Structure 1
Amino acid sequence: MVARPTPMSPAFFDTLPVGRDPVAIRRRVEAVERLLEGLYVIPGINRRVGLDAIVGLVPVVGDLLAGAMGMWLVWEARNLGMSRMALFGMTARVGFDTVLGMVPFVGDAADFFYRSNTRNLKRIKKHLDRHYPATVTVTR
């Protein structure tokens, strides 16, 4: 079995496909979501956190940066031709996460529990599975 590169290794970015086809988009959004929401495991509680929560510790600027990274998923969804209502819902999730993240302490807890990028990834996968069934990947 070939080991997959970790999100922080330089080889990770070499594995991301460059293209506009649905398979490449699926792989990119899954990789970015993993980077934003599941980069590290907190020992003891086995809860995954990513750049969204880590960067969100920096007041205001960190939350704006995390929101911009989350909006990239919405941009990819737009490129897939998702409906305006779906894009609006995804944008609202990122906006809610960003605004809530600016509140001290409450925002840090929200980044830990409310994972807007994971929710948006589920929405994108649902769209891909319905409109591009050849992109479905089997996971264990």
Structure 2
Amino acid sequence: MAEPQRPRPFTPELPLGKEPAAIRQRVEAMEAILERSFIIPGINRPVGLDALAGLIPVVGDVVTAAMGAYIVWEARNLGLPKWKIARMAGNVLFDSAVGAVPVAGDLFDFLFRSNSRNLKIIRKHLDKHHPADRVIEG
């Protein structure tokens, strides 16, 4: 008798490579994890790993800062100008510095979304310089 098949766990497959469309998908996935992973019941506000991990002193802030730095690194691979890279790095550093303050920093992480800001900078660059890779959201 055949053994019943177990359901496969959900594993999103992200494209590899340096093509702008592949980088865009990876950055959008990282931003969603960091800023919009869960919805808080009652207020219907999306919150992500950035705000939740910030509740863990030091380690949480270091981990989410590294994940935010990955988005900046991908932007560098896209060839964004240095001033945009500096602005994005500033967003991550500001979020990390203020987020490290106990209690007030946790509230700040809930409100200030540096990774969403950085994604907006990347999308604007891609839409201008790589219009063929634009994703139509519907």
TM-score by length of 2: 0.91
Unaligned runs of 5+ in 2: 1-8
- Where in structure 1 do 4 or more consecutive aligned residues deviate above 3 Å? none
Q: What is the one-letter code of the residue matched to 1:103?
A: V
Residue of 55, 58, 68 corresponding to 1:57: 55
* Number of the residue aligned with 2:11: 11
Q: What is the one-letter code of the residue matched to 2:11?
A: A
Matched, 1:107 2:105: yes
Give, in angstroms, the shift of residue 16 of structure 1: 0.5
Q: Provide the identity percentage.
A: 53
Unaligned runs of 5+ in 1: 1-8
Q: What is the one-letter code of the residue matched to 2:34?
A: L
Structure 1 or 2, whichever has the larger Rg, is: 2
* Number of the residue aligned with 2:6: none
Q: What is the one-letter code of the residue matched to 1:86?
A: K
RMSD of aligned alpha carbons: 0.9
Q: What pairs up with 1:73-88 in 2 under 5 angstroms?
A: 73-88=71-86
TM-score by length of 1: 0.90
1:57 partner SS: coil
User: CA-to-partner distance for each residue in 1:91-128, whole Å, 9 max, x for gaps?
Assistant: 00000000001101111111110000000000000000
- In the alignment, the residues of structure 1 paired with residue 11 and residue 64 of structure 2 have an alpha-carbon distance, to the nearest angstrom, of 23
- In the alignment, the residues of structure 1 paired with residue 65 and residue 87 of structure 2 have an alpha-carbon distance, to the nearest angstrom, of 14
Q: What pairs up with 1:1-140 in 2 under 5 angstroms?
A: 10-12=10-12, 15-140=13-138
